């Protein structure tokens, strides 16, 4: 698997634990609110909102929570105004890192992100310093239990998706970002259970790390993921499976 896919696999497995603690709901509510504020509350006319609402449904978020978040975004209900801020920096070994946040206090979030970078031998960079190393892609996850991989591969090829990877407990399909919804529907119509879909940043190339640097990088990424204002983290690393297995 590529570096991003390995990290994506770890995050996907941890998502169940995050959901139990309610952390994922907080992130999804922010995304739904921002999507509704930017593009309006009509699901048919707002693709970002559709994706966010679908993610809420995938996480078993009650519809009342989703509806309230939409109304807060459109101004029908009072609520906190969130700002989207993307941080770019470098981890151990020169690994490029993107941190996507949604915050009601940019100064607080910047200080927290900077602290995590410095704590684990990384450094925060300027806007644009690493974003050019990534492509925006769609990611669709499918529960691997009982799946006929040959049949799934056939459907994926017919759909026009970019790639299919077997991550053990689940499969990940990579698509162009503008067709993730259409390909998800095609996969579901074919009878496969989609557990989640999202838009993510995929690195063009990866940096190989081992030993102390690899361990430090994983701690850095996990520290960034755990910040309350973080929505997602992407990095262009490649680390041996045994180190990632210990982390996961």
Write the pLDDT tens digit of every residue in 89-140: 999 999 999 999 999 999 999 999 999 999 999 999 999 999 999 999 999 9
| Residue finishing a domain among 26, 50, 74 | 74
6 domain residue, yes or no: no
pLDDT at 240: 75
Let me know whether 146 and 196 are in one domain. yes
- DSSP H helices in 98-240: 106-119, 149-159, 180-189, 211-225
114 domain residue, yes or no: yes
pLDDT at 2: 46
| Calculated CA dihedral for residues 73, 43, 31, 53, nearest 10 degrees | 130
The two tokens of residue 69 are: 């978040």
Nearest 5°: the CA angle 235, 170, 50 is 70
Let me know whether 124 and 137 are in one domain. no
Please give the residue range of the domain that contains residue 128. Answer: 83-132+204-247
Let me know whether 141 and 170 are in one domain. yes
7 domain residue, yes or no: no
Quick one: three-class SS letters along 4-20? HHHHHHHHHHHHHHHHH
55 domain residue, yes or no: yes
Let me know whether 101 and 162 are in one domain. no
3 domain residue, yes or no: no
pTM comes to 0.86
pLDDT at 21: 56
From 26-35, 97-106, 115-124, 193-202, the region with the lowest mean pLDDT: 193-202
pLDDT at 15: 58
Let me know whether 138 and 183 are in one domain. yes
pLDDT at 1: 38
- CATH code of 53's domain: 1.10.10.200
Q: Among residues 203, 200, 205, which one has the least CA distance to residue 231?
A: 200
8 domain residue, yes or no: no
Integer Cα distance of 99 and 221 in angstroms: 9
Mean pLDDT of 170-184: 93
Let me know whether 192 and 214 are in one domain. no
Q: Which residues contact 121 (CB under 8 A, 6 or more apart)?
A: 91, 92, 213, 216, 220
115 domain residue, yes or no: yes
Let me know whether 194 and 157 are in one domain. yes
Pairing type for strands 96-103 and 134-143 reads unpaired
| Residue finishing a domain among 57, 74, 91 | 74
Nearest 5°: the CA angle 46, 194, 173 is 85
Let me know whether 117 and 148 are in one domain. no
| Domains in the chain, number | 3
| Residue finishing a domain among 187, 203, 219 | 203
Q: Which residues contact 182 (CB under 8 A, 6 or more apart)?
A: none
Let me know whether 155 and 199 are in one domain. yes
- 10 Å Cβ neighbour count for 41? 19
- For residue 103, the cross-strand partners are 83
241 domain residue, yes or no: yes
Let me know whether 208 and 117 are in one domain. yes
Let me know whether 63 and 21 are in one domain. yes
pLDDT band at 245 (very low <50, low <70, confident <90, very high): low
pLDDT at 19: 53
- CATH code of 96's domain: 3.30.70.980
């Amino acid at each position: 698997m590529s570096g991003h896919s390995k990290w994506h696999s770890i995050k996907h497995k941890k998502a169940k634990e995050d959901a139990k603690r309610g952390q994922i709901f907080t992130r999804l509510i922010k995304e739904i609110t921002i999507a509704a504020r930017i593009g309006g509350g009509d699901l048919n006319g707002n693709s970002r909102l559709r994706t966010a609402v679908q993610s809420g449904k995938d996480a078993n978020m009650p519809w009342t929570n989703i509806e309230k978040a939409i109304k807060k975004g459109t101004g029908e209900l009072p609520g906190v105004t969130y700002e989207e801020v993307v941080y770019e920096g470098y981890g151990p070994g020169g690994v490029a890192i993107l941190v996507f946040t949604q915050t009601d206090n940019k100064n607080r979030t910047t200080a927290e992100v900077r602290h995590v970078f410095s704590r684990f031998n990384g450094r925060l960079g300027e806007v644009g310093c690493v974003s050019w190393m990534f492509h925006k892609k769609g990611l669709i996850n499918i529960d691997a239990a009982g799946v006929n991989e040959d049949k799934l591969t056939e459907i994926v090829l017919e759909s026009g998706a970019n790639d299919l990877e077997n991550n053990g407990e689940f499969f990940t399909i990579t698509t162009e970002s503008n067709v993730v919804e259409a390909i998800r529907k095609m996969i579901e119509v074919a009878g496969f259970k989609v557990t989640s879909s999202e838009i993510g940043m995929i690195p063009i190339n990866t940096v190989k790390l081992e030993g102390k640097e690899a361990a430090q990088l994983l701690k850095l990424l996990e520290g960034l993921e755990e910040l309350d204002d973080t929505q997602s983290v992407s990095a262009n690393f490649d680390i041996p499976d045994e180190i990632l297995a210990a982390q996961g």
